[in-house]
Amino acid sequence: MHKILVVDDEQKIRHILQIMLEQNGYKVDQAANGEEALKLLQNYHYAMVITDLKMPVMDGMQLLKEIKRIDPDYPVVVLTAYGSIESAVEAIQQGALDFITKPFEEEKILITIQRSIRFSELVEEKRIHRQELSEFFDFENIVAESQQMLQILKQAAMVSKSPSTTVLLLGESGTGKELIARAVHYNSSRSTKKFVAINCAAIPPNLIESELFGHEKGAFTGADKKKLGKFEVAHEGTIFLDEVGDLPLDAQAKLLRFLQEKEFERVGGTESIKADVRVIGATNKDLQALAEQSRFREDLFYRINVFPLRLPPLRERRKDIIPLAHFFLSRFAQSMGKANPHITDEAKKILFRYPWHGNIRELQNAIERAVILSADSPVGPEHLRFLTLNGEGRPHTGEPFALPDGGLDLEELELDLVKQSLEMANDNQTEAAKLLGLTRGKFRSLAKRLR
């Protein structure tokens, strides 16, 4: 049952409203002025406040300001005489949701209350969702055990505290660039504002400027009304430009101007529009090489390359493969209603040795498929045959190893593999031996040489 606080110096008005609201399923408390209302608000939570504007001791306008100082989202509806609409407009400007004129009609009051309470519920849902997002994208909750990724997360956490610094995320497709971008946003002071993502490679070149910066009505054929661009929508938040290396040169010039001046013009417009936005770019291309080929503006490259973070491919941080597999396994098993998800040791070997050219995205898809195939049994090699067999049905061994022209030190290579396996197995020699396909005795003799 929703509880409403009615504030009015006229006892008769309070009484009428209480009877009306309680007959419609609401619980009501009363206050004769703003001071009484504030005392009640300190001790009880109300779905909303209905207050008169003209009252002794503390009037409704002052009460409204005090409530908004405590909680800007608290729903307040004001009561005003029919001839005092100016006061109601001022109250709306101060943050009131709506106003009701006296004498009031029951139907209009109930509609206004329902609308105000729904608004309050949506605000609370948004607040909870924002909190869940912040927790999900907390750097400590991102799955990573390799030193490479731990170092990247540390640097990303550092730059998140600098809310205006431009960040450039580099790496192959599927390495988690958008995840890091969102983590930077949700761990920054901009976290309560919008995170706007746009794939620069997915938009036709003739529309990219309009998408990013908006357009005025009549700017081009089909522009039948004004449109806000992503930079306006993202004001005070973060804009994520995925595949920024695919931006056409004209759009690059406008992006450069924004990064320099923090302002832009809509397509077909002449007015300069300012926007407070952090820019995070991402690409799987070598922007410096593109700049040398005149395919990417060199001045833009230096502007966007303020804080670069290079995400290594999954095959170069194999210590993360099994922890990530367990994370995806748990998530998919839960969504599919399967209990006690498990990956066998033989299946782990397959996952560990696979080259993962599609990186984390490919691993995620593989685990989802394996969970479906395994039904209620543990994920084993038989559920990963789509990884271990290539198109001709022969075992997949990944990329062939090529002996360097100058040769190599086999003993040094052995010791390096032993060291890597111990790191991945958290110093468990039995598990490390399995990763290399060795007996525990053979592994122990190799491991002794590390001491």
More confident residue, 178 or 138: 178
* 228, two tokens: 């806000």
pLDDT category of residue 398 using cuts at 50, 70 and 90: very low
The predicted structure's pLDDT at residue 101: 82
In the chain, the percentage of residues whose pLDDT exceeds 70 is: 93
pLDDT digits (tens, 9 = 90+) for 56-88: 888 889 999 999 888 888 899 998 875 567 777
Beta bridge partners of 52: 79
* Residue 10 to residue 32: CA distance in whole angstroms: 7
pLDDT digits (tens, 9 = 90+) for 8-61: 999 999 999 999 999 999 999 999 999 999 999 988 889 899 999 888 888 889
Mean per-residue pLDDT over the chain, rounded: 88
pLDDT digits (tens, 9 = 90+) for 409-445: 787 778 888 888 887 777 788 888 887 888 888 888 8
Min mean pLDDT across 105-119, 247-261, 315-329, 387-401 is at 387-401
* 317, two tokens: 């941080």
DSSP character string of 53-120: SS-SSS-HHHHHHHHHHH-TT--EEEEEETT-HHHHHHHHHTT--EEEEESPPHHHHHHHHHHHHHHH
pTM metric for this prediction = 0.65
pLDDT digits (tens, 9 = 90+) for 155-177: 999 999 999 999 999 999 999 99
DSSP character string of 260-310: HHSEE--BT----EE---EEEEEESS-HHHHHHTTSS-HHHHHHH-SEEEE
pLDDT digits (tens, 9 = 90+) for 271-321: 899 999 999 999 999 999 999 999 999 999 999 999 999 999 999 999 999
* Residue 244 to residue 242: CA distance in whole angstroms: 5
